C-alpha cells in the first residue's frame, strides 16, 4: 500500500464514485499472484494446463460479454 496522501484521496474519491464491492491492492508478491490464480481457477475463468509439459501455464478464456478485445482479431506469436 502507499502513504501518498494524493493517491489515497483519489482512491477514496473513486470508491465513492463507483461503489466497488471490494478494493484489492496489487502488491506484486508471488503469494498474491498464486491466490489470484487459484481464485480464477476455482471460478472456471482460468484452467491450469499440464504442469509437466507447460509449467506455470494457464488457459484464460475471454467471457462472451468481454468487449475489451475481439477474438478473431487476436494474434498470438510464439516460438513454438
Q: Check residues 49 and 77 and name the one with the higher pLDDT.
A: 49
Q: Is the pLDDT of residue 68 over 90?
A: no
Q: Check residues 7 and 64 and name the one with the higher pLDDT.
A: 7
Q: Check residues 25 and 66 and name the one with the higher pLDDT.
A: 25
User: pLDDT tens digit string along 14-52?
Assistant: 999 999 999 989 999 999 999 999 999 998 889 999 999
Domain boundaries defined on the chain? 5-62
Q: What pTM does this model have?
A: 0.60
DSSP string, 9-31: HHHHHHHHHH--S--------HH
Whole-number pLDDT of residue 77:
79
48: buried, middle or exposed (CB in 10 Å: 19+, 13-18, 0-12)? middle
Amino acid at each position: 500500500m502507499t502513504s501518498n496522501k494524493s493517491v489515497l484521496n483519489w482512491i477514496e474519491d473513486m470508491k465513492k464514485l463507483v461503489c466497488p464491492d471490494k478494493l484489492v491492492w496489487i502488491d506484486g508478491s508471488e503469494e498474491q499472484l498464486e491466490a489470484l490464480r487459484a481464485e480464477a481457477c476455482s471460478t472456471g475463468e482460468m484452467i491450469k494446463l499440464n504442469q509437466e509439459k507447460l509449467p506455470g501455464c494457464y488457459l484464460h478464456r475471454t467471457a462472451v460479454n468481454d468487449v475489451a478485445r475481439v477474438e478473431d482479431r487476436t494474434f498470438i506469436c510464439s516460438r513454438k
